[in-house]
Amino acid sequence: MNDREEQERGPSSAVSTSSGTSLNEFDFIRRLRQRASVEAQSTQPQSLILGIGDDAAVIRSANGRDTVVATDLLVEEIDFRRTTVPPYLLGHKALAVSLSDIAAMGARPRWSLISLGLPEEIWQSEFTNNFYNGLFQLAAQYDVQLIGGDTSRTPKQIVVDSIVIGECAADGALKRSGARPGDQIFVTGTLGGAAAGLRLIERGAHLADQNFGANETQVLDQLLLRHLRPEPRVGWGIVLGQENLATAMIDLSDGLSSDLNHICSESNAGALINSSEIPIDNQVIELCGRRALDPLQLALHGGEDFELLFTVHPDRVAKLPRKVDGVGITHIGEISYAGEGVRISEGSRIWELAPGGWKHF
Backbone angles phi, psi at 126, to 5 degrees: -80, 5
Reduced to 3 DSSP states, what percent helix, strand and coil does the chain have, rounded to the nearest 5? Answer: 40, 25, 35
Residue from the set 8, 101, 161, 167 that interacts with ligand ADP by CB under 6 A: 101
- Per-position x/- string for 20-59, each x denoting binding to Mg ion as judged by CB under 5 A, each - no binding: -----------------------------------x----
Cβ atoms 162, 94 nearer than 8 A: yes
Cβ–Cβ contacts within 10 Å for residue 17, how many?
12
Backbone angles phi, psi at 21, to 5 degrees: -85, 155
| Binding window for Mg ion (CB under 5 A); candidates: 164-172, 252-260, 276-284, 346-354 | 252-260
Q: Output the smallest distance, CB 171 to ligand ADP, in A.
A: 18
101 binds Mg ion (CB under 5 A): yes
Pick the closer one to ligand ADP by CB: 53 or 91.
53
Q: Output the smallest distance, CB 244 to Mg ion, in A.
A: 20
Total residues at interface with ligand ADP (CB under 6 A): 9
Q: Output the smallest distance, CB 205 to ligand ADP, in A.
A: 26
C-alpha distances in Å from residue 292, one per residue of 139, 223, 296: 39, 17, 12
Q: Output the smallest distance, CB 129 to ligand ADP, in A.
A: 27
| Binding window for Mg ion (CB under 5 A); candidates: 9-17, 40-48, 245-253, 310-318 | 245-253
User: In sequence order, what are the residues at sequence separation of 6 or more whose Cβ sits closer than 8 angstroms to the Cβ of residue 141?
Assistant: none
Cβ atoms 251, 263 nearer than 8 A: no
Residue from the set 251, 281, 304, 307 that interacts with Mg ion by CB under 5 A: 251
Cβ atoms 296, 222 nearer than 8 A: no
Cβ atoms 58, 68 nearer than 8 A: yes
As a whole number of angstroms, the distance between CA 228 and CA 360 comes to 19
Pick the closer one to ligand ADP by CB: 96 or 287.
96
Could you say which residues in the range 50-79 bind ligand ADP, by CB under 6 A?
A: 52-55, 72
Kind and range of the H or E element at 224? helix 219-228
Q: Output the smallest distance, CB 32 to ligand ADP, in A.
A: 5
C-alpha distances in Å from residue 132, one per residue of 10, 136, 140, 168: 36, 6, 12, 27
305 binds ligand ADP (CB under 6 A): no
Q: Output the smallest distance, CB 100 to ligand ADP, in A.
A: 8
As a whole number of angstroms, the distance between CA 212 and CA 225 comes to 9
Q: Output the smallest distance, CB 197 to ligand ADP, in A.
A: 18
As a whole number of angstroms, the distance between CA 100 and CA 109 comes to 9
Could you say which residues in the range 18-37 bind ligand ADP, by CB under 6 A?
A: 29, 32
Could you say which residues in the range 221-260 bind ligand ADP, by CB under 6 A?
A: 253
Among ligand ADP, Mg ion, none, residue 53 binds (CB under 5-8 Å by kind): ligand ADP
| Binding window for ligand ADP (CB under 6 A); candidates: 49-57, 215-223, 313-321, 335-343 | 49-57
Cβ atoms 100, 232 nearer than 8 A: yes
As a whole number of angstroms, the distance between CA 297 and CA 199 comes to 13
**Which residues would be at the binding site for ligand ADP (CB under 6 A)?**
29, 32, 52-55, 72, 101, 253
**Which residues would be at the binding site for Mg ion (CB under 5 A)?**
55, 101, 251, 253
